[in-house]
Amino acid sequence: MRFKYHLFFCLNQRDNGEDCCGQHNPLVMFEYAKKRVKELGLSGTGKVRVNKAGCLDRCADGPVMVIYPQGIWYTFVDIEDIEEIIQSHLIQDKPVERLQLQ
């Protein structure tokens, strides 16, 4: 594996006004995660990669992100949720159950 964890944040916007991840401010959360991963020295080959994604086909659950290779899906509301995912999942290898999607 090139990365221990690979995060994908859905940033999809729907033009027809239907609910989608893009309506829940995911770009701010993506940018925060990318910045924090770098600040904490977690980024790079063999470590963590944070990426933008188009539609991940979970619009009704949005906003969403998925972490591979485990394929763990998360929803989030604010920066504190993203920080909890970073601290627990990425640093301690403990997925955050309360934010996981089934």
**pLDDT tens, position by position, 39-75:** 999 999 999 999 999 999 998 888 999 999 999 999 9
54 contacts 11 by C-beta, under 8 angstroms: yes
Quote the CA–CA distance of 23 and 66 in Å, as a whole number: 18
**pLDDT tens, position by position, 68-102:** 999 999 999 999 999 999 999 999 999 999 999 98
Enumerate the domain spans of the chain: 5-99
Residue burial 35-72, b: 16+ Cβ < 10 Å; e: rest:
ebbeeeebbeeeebbbeebeebebbebbbbbbbeeeeb
pLDDT at 35 (0 to 100) = 98
Superfamily for domain range 5-99: Glutaredoxin (3.40.30.10)
Query: Is the predicted pLDDT of residue 6 greater than 80, yes or no?
Result: yes
pLDDT at 51 (0 to 100) = 98
